[in-house]
Amino acid sequence: MWDEEKNKALVRWWWEEVWIKGNLAATDEFVAPDYVDHPNLPGLPPGPEGMKQALSNYRAAVPELQATLDDILAEGDRVALRWSARGTHLGEWLGVPPTGQHFTMSGITIYRLAEGKAVEGWNSIEVNPTEEEQQWLTEGGGGWPRRSGSSDDILPATEGDTSPPFWDVITHNLTWHFRVAEAQERERIEQELQFAWRIQQASLPKEVPEPEGWQITPYYQPAREVGGDFYDFFELEDDRLGVVVGDATGKGVPAALVMTATSSMLRAAARALGTSSPGEVLAHVNEALLARIPPNMFVTCFYAIVEPKSGRLRYANAGHDLPYLRRRGGDDAEELRARGMPLGLMPETSYEEKVASLSEGESVLFYSDGLVEAHDPEGEMFGFPRLRRLVAEYAAEEGSLVDFLMDELRSFTGDGWEQEDDVALVTLQRSAANR
């Protein structure tokens, strides 16, 4: 027959020695060498040594821990404890430096005793949010954390998950302010991305020009982390048309702002100067940008002036990817080359000008590096040679060159492609209307 009162007295004695007096040596008298704990603390040896190491960790992390034995019951060879504790995190806890957070926890522990020692134990522990976290939430800190996995997640869930180890819950609660800071930083970045996207969208032309005898097709597909890609069209004197495609370095709001400023400067300079020289326009904008953008940023840009009636294309390049000209009946695509440094890098820069002529059925492709720098699942890059070959192979009767290239890009990257950069394309195609 079990001596239940003696078992209760033994457990009470051990509790007071360890949790009230801090006498960890009492564990050797209470815990059997083959003691098994449920759940077992990972990384700790079994028996009294593991128990003492765990208790030592608690004491080191919370030296002023206040523990209370709220109730004790015995039946047969088992003793059940209902307890509570509170303390302040003043020492390292499982790699977490002291936070000064105040916490409370409570639990029920059941011991099975044999021959005057505990041979097995079961723990059910509830760790409450720290007082600081509860105050933050009460004072409007963003509402209660939503469960992990939802699209509007603020704080990843630990409490409420299936049987989380209580020491993980303690870590989770002690580090709530770090998680809040991380969540707020994620939210700030997301807001910045949305803001950058709105800036970029507002800067792109709302209408596409329709000069007689020409078909102009723009395409823009932003990446999640918005870059500085842009294109624009503006009408000039004598029915000429300005076409610009560019890319500001960087991502997010800085790139979007520089892109918007560059596009506006190009439009204003082209109209104010009243010149037919794209090189002069780029040189003017280069000087203006030097005084207005950070020294670590620059803009690549290709600017062309189209004369719809004659088919002449006068152009200059500020370090941008070379456009491709597809001749009718040809088996290759020509590169439109012109020397020039990116905008915003060096003062007093000059830009070489070139002229090309398009006959009916011929087309030019302007593009950003998001197309050629896309990768397939094996890490191979789409690349300039592939793009040049595809432009040469394109047949106008098959439909839009933009649609053709985007179909090829999707086939190359495969399903689940995570777009690395913005993709901007503009095609100019001369039709048969000018015959």
141-173 confidence digits (pLDDT tens) = 554 344 334 434 443 443 333 345 666 777 777
381-431 confidence digits (pLDDT tens) = 999 999 999 999 887 666 788 999 999 999 999 887 778 888 899 999 998
Please state the rounded mean pLDDT for residues 122-136. Answer: 79
Largest interatomic CA distance in the chain: 113
Predicted pLDDT at 285? 95
* Bigger pLDDT: 73 vs 183: 73
Please state the rounded mean pLDDT for residues 353-358. Answer: 95
- Highest averaged pLDDT of the listed ranges 2-6, 212-216, 421-425: 212-216
Predicted pLDDT at 335? 95
What is the DSSP secondary structure assignment for residue 422, as one 8-state letter? Answer: -
Predicted pLDDT at 175? 74
Contact 75, 3 (CB under 8 A): no
User: Which residues, at least 6 apart from 305, have a Cβ–Cβ distance to it below 8 Å?
Assistant: 236, 240, 241, 242, 243, 276, 278, 313, 314, 315
Question: Which one, of 333, 337, 335, lies nearest residue 353 by Cα?
Answer: 337
Strands (E) in 213-294, as ranges, are: 214-221, 228-235, 241-248
The pLDDT mean for the chain works out to 85
Roughly how many angstroms between the first and final C-alpha of the chain, as a whole number? 113
Question: Which one, of 371, 343, 346, 353, lies nearest residue 427 by Cα?
Answer: 371
Check pLDDT > 80 for residue 339. yes
Q: Is residue 137 very low, low, confident or very high in pLDDT (cuts 50, 70, 90)?
A: low
What is the DSSP secondary structure assignment for residue 380, as one 8-state letter? Answer: -
d(CA 120, CA 113): 7
Contact 91, 61 (CB under 8 A): yes
Mutual angle of helices 252-273 and 278-290, in 10-degree steps: 130
What is the torsional sign of CA 109, 114, 115, 118?
negative
Please state the rounded mean pLDDT for residues 36-63. Answer: 85
Task: Go through the domains of the chain in sequence order and give each one's CATH number.
Answer: 4-183 (3.10.450.50), 205-434 (3.60.40.10)
Contact 175, 96 (CB under 8 A): yes
Q: What is the pTM of this model?
A: 0.61
Predicted pLDDT at 166? 65
Check pLDDT > 80 for residue 220. yes
Question: Which one, of 270, 271, 297, 267, lies nearest residue 281 by Cα?
Answer: 270
Please state the rounded mean pLDDT for residues 323-351. Answer: 91
Check pLDDT > 80 for residue 239. yes
Please state the rounded mean pLDDT for residues 308-314. Answer: 94
Contact 259, 230 (CB under 8 A): yes
Check pLDDT > 60 for residue 364. yes
User: Which residues, at least 6 apart from 31, have a Cβ–Cβ distance to it below 8 Å?
Assistant: 47, 48, 51, 117, 118
Please state the rounded mean pLDDT for residues 119-132. Answer: 84
Please state the rounded mean pLDDT for residues 22-39. Answer: 91
> 391 is written with which tokens?
């432009």
